[in-house]
Amino acid sequence: MKHFSASSPLRATTSSSPHLNGLIELSDLVQSALTPILPQNCVEQAIQPSHKTIDFPTSSVNLDSYSHIAVFAVGKASSSMCVAALKKLSSNLSTSTTPVSSFVLSKPSHVTDAENRYLKDCGTQISYGSHPVPDDDSTSASLELMEYCQSRPKRTLFLALVSGGTSALLTAPSPPLTTSHLSSVSSLLLKAGCDIVEMNKLRRCLDSAKGGGVLDWCLSSPSEGNSLHTLVISDVISDDCSFIGSGPTFLTSYNCVEALSTLDSALSATTIPEEGEDKKLLEEVREFLIDRGDKEMGGREREGYNEPSVISSNKMMIRSLEEKVREMGGRVKVLFDGDMEGEARKVGVALIDEVEKAGGEGGTFFLAGGETTVTFSGNTSGKGGRNQEMALAIAIELAQRGIGECCSTVCFGTDGNDGPTDAAGAVVDGDTVRRIWEAAEVDRGEAGDAIELAKAFLDRHDAYNYFKGSPYLIQCGATGTNVADVVVIRTY
């Protein structure tokens, strides 16, 4: 995690601030709270092999019934989940004598060198896709995963490990749609500020891997004697497995009526250039949804299916933060227990409202968890993510209210990847906008003062470039998990 390095141009400016150490502590607090819910801990607890059996959270299997164990992991946390599962299986005598194969579908930046070496040593097949917008690599990698699942021998015990990011990484367009159709839809939904549930309701209508589609790859015939067990790290507010990764291994039934409504709303909220391919592709997607209408999809029972188990979530992250704060001797108030949602900048202001309303003594930590959205206005060329945008909105609000000496805030994406940037979020206080103005590290343009400059960057959704080069940007790299976002506001 990037802290206030000695080489930073803001170091001298902020060295006298009594809250400098507090900002650093907030960053450290969030990172330390992640540890208990990282895959190496939660996956290890969820897989309990013993003599001839493996116990999962909601099911148990007898290994005598199986000739093979196939572990496949998809999502931003896939490599770390797979490593943890393989280590746990190999540590037990019974499971270590059963042949095990494995497959990982991830984003390149989310596989560490150590994980890559371990997985290669285990013979794991590793494929890469794109996130947050799927591309041809996503489709090719998904085809490889389908072939992997379908080529396993009879009596295979499938263990699926699903985490956030799966919806873009696992992509199998329903004919006659193509990857280009799905890419255009994903880009549209992101620009329109759709939340993850809206996005995934639409995605599963366009993609044969979603809405339980992967069940067909593993459990196509009862005579094969296969079974499927799924462990899930949730990045969805409700922890509803039908929406986490668009529910690739979740048995569910649905139709496309809501999906069409979501698409129409997104089209109304976004300007699509008349020239270019997007308009044509989106019109074809709309026709596809109209054709499917209210036809019931999915829901076919399969022998060997087991309900997925959520083993890590945003609520668990909030519990971990509570515990860490109390260990520090601080007081805790939870504002959103995994259900924070809405427009990032508006939510940021609302959080400060709640903190002011609550009052109380200093040393209180206000916690919020969930996932906000950013709705792009016009054809902005800004760069950032929902956590950076919220942090900038909060920094402006604190400065405007003149309460900079009263609190500091961290807005953090738990996967270490906030939007299409190399940052996880930002940590700010009420003096941040002044310090950045005085450091003159960003182009002031026509701004007349610090707040006006910060607002200009916020208005064009350019929080990354506002914080870039400053010590306020959190750049920790991939964390190995993804349980949505957290905000911690500390009062003094």
Compute the distance between CA of residue 24 and CA of residue 428 in angstroms, rounded to an integer: 10
Q: Please indicate, yes or no, whether the overall pTM of this predicted structure exceeds 0.85.
A: yes
| 222-278 pLDDT per residue, tens | 889 999 999 999 999 899 999 999 999 999 999 999 999 999 999 998 888 888 899
State the Rg of the chain over Cα.
Answer: 23
| Mean pLDDT to the nearest integer, 89-109 | 86
Q: Which two tokens stand for residue 456?
A: 């200009």
Answer yes or no: is pLDDT of 214 > 60. Answer: yes
- Cα within 13 Å of Cα(278), Cβ side: 14
Answer yes or no: is pLDDT of 4 > 60. Answer: no
Cα–Cα distances in angstroms (integers) from residue 284 to residues 191, 192, 277, 304, 417, in the given order = 19, 19, 11, 37, 32
Q: What is the architecture, at CATH level 2, of domain 11-36+314-491?
A: 3-Layer(aba) Sandwich (3.40)
Is the peptide bond preceding residue 57 cis, with omega within 30 degrees of 0?
Answer: no
| Mean pLDDT to the nearest integer, 403-409 | 82
Residue 448 CB partners (closer than 8 Å, separation 6+)? none
Q: What share of the chain is helix, strand, coil (3-state, %, to 5)?
A: 45, 20, 40
Q: Give the residue extent of every domain in the chain.
A: 11-36+314-491, 39-312
Compute the distance between CA of residue 430 and CA of residue 453 in angstroms, rounded to an integer: 15
Tell me the average pLDDT of the chain: 91
Cα–Cα distances in angstroms (integers) from residue 291 to residues 260, 263, 284, 285, 287, in the given order = 10, 14, 11, 10, 6
Cα–Cα distances in angstroms (integers) from residue 223 to residues 60, 148, 153, 229, 303, in the given order = 20, 19, 12, 18, 9
**Is the pLDDT higher at 272 or at 391?**
391
**Three-class DSSP category at 237:** coil
| 287-331 pLDDT per residue, tens | 999 999 999 888 788 999 999 999 999 999 999 999 999 999 999
Q: Which two tokens stand for residue 446?
A: 């026509």
Q: What is the DSSP letter of 131?
A: S
Within 10 angstroms of residue 71's Cβ, the number of other Cβ atoms is 22
Q: What is the DSSP letter of 312?
A: E
Q: Which two tokens stand for residue 347?
A: 């939510």
| 26-51 pLDDT per residue, tens | 888 998 999 999 999 999 999 999 88
* Residue closest to 290 by CA, chosen among 323, 269, 259, 311: 259
Q: Determine the topology of domain 39-312 in CATH.
A: Rossmann fold (3.40.50)
Contact 414, 321 (CB under 8 A): no
Compute the distance between CA of residue 124 and CA of residue 129 in angstroms, rounded to an integer: 16
Answer yes or no: is pLDDT of 93 > 80. Answer: no
| 342-380 pLDDT per residue, tens | 999 999 999 999 999 987 678 899 999 999 999 987 667
Contact 346, 395 (CB under 8 A): no
Residue 404 CB partners (closer than 8 Å, separation 6+)? 398, 429, 430, 431
DSSP per-residue letters across 418-437: -SSSS--EEEEETTHHHHHH
Residue 50 CB partners (closer than 8 Å, separation 6+)? 92, 94
11-36+314-491 and 39-312 share one CATH topology?
A: no
Compute the distance between CA of residue 247 and CA of residue 201 in angstroms, rounded to an integer: 10
Answer yes or no: is pLDDT of 131 > 70. Answer: yes
For the chain, the straight-line distance linking the first and the last C-alpha, in angstroms and rounded, comes to: 24
Instruction: Name the pLDDT band for 94 (thresholds 50, 70, 90).
Output: low
Helix or strand (DSSP H, E) at 125: strand 125-128
Query: Which strands form 364-370's sheet, in the order they lie side by side?
Result: 331-340, 364-370, 485-491, 407-413, 425-429, 473-474
